[in-house]
Amino acid sequence: MNWNILEKNYNKDDYIKNETIFALANGFLGIRGSFDEGNIIGHDGTYINGFYELNDIKYGEKFKGYPSQGQTMVNVANTKRVNIFFDDEKFDLNTGEIIEYERNLDMREGILKREIKWRSSQGKIIRLIFERFVSFKEKGLIFYKYNIIPLNGSVKVSFESILDGGIRNYSNPDDPRVASTSETVFETIENKTLDDDLYIYQRTKRSKKEYGVYLKHRILKGDLTRKRYYSKDDSSSIIFDFNLRRNESVSIIRNAFYSLGGLNFKLFEYLKEKSEEAYENGYDYYLDYQKKYYSDFWNNCNVEIEGDDKLLQGIRFNMFHILNSTGKDGITNIAAKGLTGEGYEGHYFWDTETYILPFFIYTNPEIAKKLIEFRYNTLDKAKERALQMNHKKGALYPWRTINGYECSSYFPAGTAQYHINCDIAISIKRYFESTNDENLLVKFGAEILFETSRLWMDTGFFIDGEFRINGVTGPDEYTAIINNNYYTNIMVSESLKFSVYVYNFLKKNYNKEFIKLINKIDLMEEEVEEWINASENMFLPYDKKLQINAQDDSFLSKPVWDLEKEKNFPLLLHYHPLVLYRYQVCKQADLILAEVLLNYKFDKKQIKKDYDYYEKITTHDSSLSTCIFSIAANYIGYLEKAYNYFMMTARTDLDNHHGNTKDGIHAANMAGTWLGLTMGFGGMKVYNDNIYFEPKVPKAWKKYSFKILYKSRRIKVEVDKQYIKYSLEKGDPVNIYHFNKHILLQSSYKLKNR
C-alpha cells in the first residue's frame, strides 16, 4: 500500500478527482489519469510544460503597469483515447457489468495499470488490461499498452486508436482559481494518416507556439483481419479489427511522441525518426530505464514511517508528483497544479522557491539548480517589469507567469506581492549554503541577486534612520496593499545581506567574472553600501502592548474576524476582497512563515506568542498554510498541534481536503509535507554553514526516517522512541549538530532520544 495508490472500485463521483490522482508526467509532458476509452464525465488533459496561449486581459479601467495579456497552459492533442468494440458493442464502464476492477499507480516505477473484468449487455465477458507511463528516458514519449482477452466465447474486437486535436481547456467562470473561458486555441497545420501511424502538427492562434505528436502502433499479438482509417480537420484514427476465440488475446502497444516545433524545424521528420527509434527499442527498454530513474530518485529522498501507513502513502504520493511535475531544463518551472490539471491556468508562483525548491535542494540539487536557472532566463523580462512599474532600475519578478511576463490581473493580491523577489533571492542563498556551488553564483545567481536588490532601494525609503517598505502585499492574500509587511521586510533584509556577501565573495575569488558582471549591469559600489544600510536598519513592526510581532503597520488596528462563528469557507468565494482587507483575518501563514524560514533569528518564546495570536485568526484557506503551522508548532513544543496540522497537509489531494483536487494537485502543499517531516519533526535547520537536527517522534509513530543531501553527502536520519541514529550513506565525513551537540559524522552515530 505504501508504494501504491489503489482504486478497487469504479465510482463516478470520484472520477474527475481521480483524473488528477492518477496523472503521470516527467516535467516536460503530463497526462491526466483519464480512462483510455474515455468517459461521459471528467476533463481529459495532456499538457506540455511552458506551452501556452495568450489572451487579452480586459479591465473596466486600466492603469499604467496593468498587464495587457495573460498566459494559459493549453490542453494539447490527446493520444490516450481509444474506442474498443466487442461484436459492435462499445466498451464502457458506465454500461454493462463490472465484475472485477482495479487501478494501480506504482510510485516506485511511475507506471499506471488498470485491470478490468467486464460483462457486456450481450453477455460477453472480457478481461482488459491497460498500462501507461510517461518516459523519463525521452521527455516527449508516452507508452500505452493493452491486453484484451475474451473469457466466455469468440468475439470480434475492433480497436480504434484516436489522435484528437480538437480539444479545449477546462473553465469555471465562478472560481477565480480556474480559467473563466474555454475556446479552441489551435489551428491545425498538418494532419496525416500513415500506414500504422497518426500525426498532427498544430499552432496556437495568438502566441504562435507550435507542437506536433506522432502516434505509432505495434501489434504484439492477435489475429488482425483488417485496418480502417478516418480523418477530419483536427483528428484522425485507425481501427484494427481482430477475430478472437475464447482465452485468445490481443496485445497492442501505442507510443506517442510529442515535440515543440519552430522556425525551419522539420518536425514531421524528427518525430517520425524518434517514434521509429522508440518502436525499435521497445516497451521494455524504456520501462527498464523508468524503473532505474525512480529507483535513483527514491534512493536519495525516501522516507519511512512506522505506525501510519496512510500517512506514509500520502507523503510518497506527494514526492512522486513533485518530481513528475517539475521542469528540469532551465526554461520551465513547476505550476501550482503541476502537469495534472488546469487550475491557476498553469501559472508559476512563488510556491516554487519557498516550498518546492527546498525539497530538491536537499534531495536532487541538480533539479533545484535548473529551477534557479529558469529565473535567470527570465531576468530580462523581470527588468522590463520593473520599468513598467516606474522603478528606475532593478528587476521585479512576476507574481503569476509562464513565459516570464506578469499575467496577474488583480494587482492587490498579485503584483503587489513584491516578496517574490526576496523569495527567489533567499532560495539562491539556501541552495548555495547546502551545495557550495560557486559556479551557480558566477553564472547567474549573482546577477539575479544584484538586480532584485536594486529594486528594494527604489521601493523602500529611510525614515528616522529606519528602512521601510510601503504599499505591498505579504503572503497573506486576505490582507493587501499595506505598509511594512513583516515577512517582506525581514526577508528583504536577509536577501540584501546575502547580496552583499556574494558581491564581496566574487570580487575576491572571481575578480575577472566579477568585473565583467559589474560592467554589464553598471553596478556602483555606492549601491552596495545602500544595501548594507537598509539591511542593518530594516524596520520590523512590533506591538509592545501585545508583545507580538505585527504582520504589518495597520494589521493589529483592525477588528478581529470571528472564525468560530464563520461557516462560509473558503472566504474568498463568499466575500468581496475589500471586506476581507478590513479585518484581522489571514488566508495563510504570513508572519509565522517568516519565523519558520528564518527561525534561527527568533527566540522561541517570541515565536510562541506570535503563534498563539495568529493561529486564532488564520483560516488556512490556502493549502500553503498548514504545513508551516505544523513546523512552527514543532519548534515551540506544541506537538499535538504539529501532528494535526501535518496530517491535514499530508493527504490534501488524496483525501480532497480543499474540494478542488479535480483542478490539479496542490504542488506547494505536497512539498510542504516533506518540509513538515524534515524541518518540523526532524528539526532540520541549515545556517551559519552548518546543519542542525532536533528530532521528535509523534505519539502515533513508532519510528521514522528521512534522507538529506548536504554538501554532496547523503545523510540518513532514523528516529524512534529510544534512539536517534545518523548515518553517512554517501560522501566524505561531515559536521552535523544534534541539539547543538557537535558530531563529526564518518559512518553512523547513535544517541539516546531525549
Work out the number of other CB atoms within 10 angstroms of the CB of residue 205: 14
> What does DSSP say about strands 29-31 and 46-56: parallel, antiparallel, or unpaired?
antiparallel
| Residue 351 among known ligand-binding residues | yes
| Residue 69 among known ligand-binding residues | no
Considering the candidates 353, 433, 477, 718, report the single residue annotated as catalytic: 477
| Residue 587 among known ligand-binding residues | yes
Cβ 91 vs Cβ 84: under 8 Å: yes
Longest dimension (CA), the chain: 90
Q: Output the nine-digit C-alpha cell for 347.
A: 501559472
Give the separation between CA 453 and CA 394, rounded to whole angstroms.
7
Q: Output the nine-digit C-alpha cell for 18.
A: 481521480
Cβ 715 vs Cβ 745: under 8 Å: yes
What's the Rg (C-alpha) of the chain?
A: 27
| Alpha helix positions (H), 587-638 | 591-597, 604-615, 626-636
Let me know if 477 is a catalytic residue. yes
Q: Output the nine-digit C-alpha cell for 316.
A: 510518497
| Residue 399 among known ligand-binding residues | no
Work out the number of other CB atoms within 10 angstroms of the CB of residue 127: 17
335: left (phi over 0), alpha (psi -120 to 50) or beta: beta
Q: Output the nine-digit C-alpha cell for 433.
A: 549554503
Q: Output the nine-digit C-alpha cell for 596.
A: 519558520
Cβ 357 vs Cβ 431: under 8 Å: yes
Give the separation between CA 743 and CA 112, rounded to whole angstroms.
44
Element (H, E) at 377: helix 365-377
Nearest of 222, 202, 223, 226 to residue 212 by alpha carbon = 202
**What type of residue sits at position 611?**
Y
| Alpha helix positions (H), 462-568 | 486-509, 511-521, 525-536
Task: Taking each helix axis as running N to C, give the angle between helix 667-675 and helix 639-650, from 0 to 180 degrees, rounded to the nearest 10.
Answer: 140
Residues annotated within a binding site = 350-351, 587-588
Residues annotated within a binding site for substrate = 350-351, 587-588
Q: Residues with catalytic annotation?
A: 477
